[in-house]
């Protein structure tokens, strides 16, 4: 499982939140309150997916550094006066 997959799931859950709200509002005769609850329920998944993405990104970065990438980063990046970044920033 990669961090990008979790970020994608977070973005998808935002769209799914709107879709469930819209479907509940237009297809059920339960009223706007129920539609709001469905939208909020699914919308609460997004922060969890994003947090898991951050945790996985930290793990991926840690794994890259422990496999020998730290020497390359220390030789090239720190010598140029910049901090290392896996985000290529």
pLDDT in tens, 5-39: 999 999 999 999 999 998 888 888 888 888 888 88
SS3 8: helix
* pLDDT at residue 66, as a whole number: 77
CA angle 18, 19, 23 (to 5 degrees): 120
Residue with tokens 């469905």: 38
Q: Which residue has the higher pLDDT, 43 or 81?
A: 43
Torsional sign, CA 20, 21, 25, 29: positive
* pLDDT at residue 38, as a whole number: 87
Check pLDDT > 90 for residue 47: yes
Interatomic CA distance for residues 11 and 44, integer angstroms: 12
* pLDDT at residue 55, as a whole number: 94
Determine if residue 2 is left, alpha or beta; phi over 0 gives left, psi from -120 to 50 gives alpha, anything else beta.
beta
Q: Give me the phi and psi of 41, to 5 degrees please.
A: -60, -50
Please say whether the beta carbons of 45 and 13 come within 8 A: yes
Check pLDDT > 80 for residue 85: no
Q: Which residue has the higher pLDDT, 84 or 16?
A: 16
Average pLDDT, the chain: 81
Check pLDDT > 90 for residue 63: no
């Amino acid at each position: 499982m990669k961090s990008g997959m979790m970020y994608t799931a977070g973005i998808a859950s935002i769209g799914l939140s709107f879709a469930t709200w819209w479907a509940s509002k237009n297809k059920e005769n339960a009223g706007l309150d129920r539609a709001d609850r469905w939208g909020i329920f699914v919308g609460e998944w997004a922060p969890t997916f994003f947090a898991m993405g951050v945790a996985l990104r930290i793990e991926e970065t840690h794994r890259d550094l422990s496999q020998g990438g730290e020497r390359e980063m220390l030789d090239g990046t720190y010598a140029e006066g910049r901090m290392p970044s896996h985000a290529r920033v």
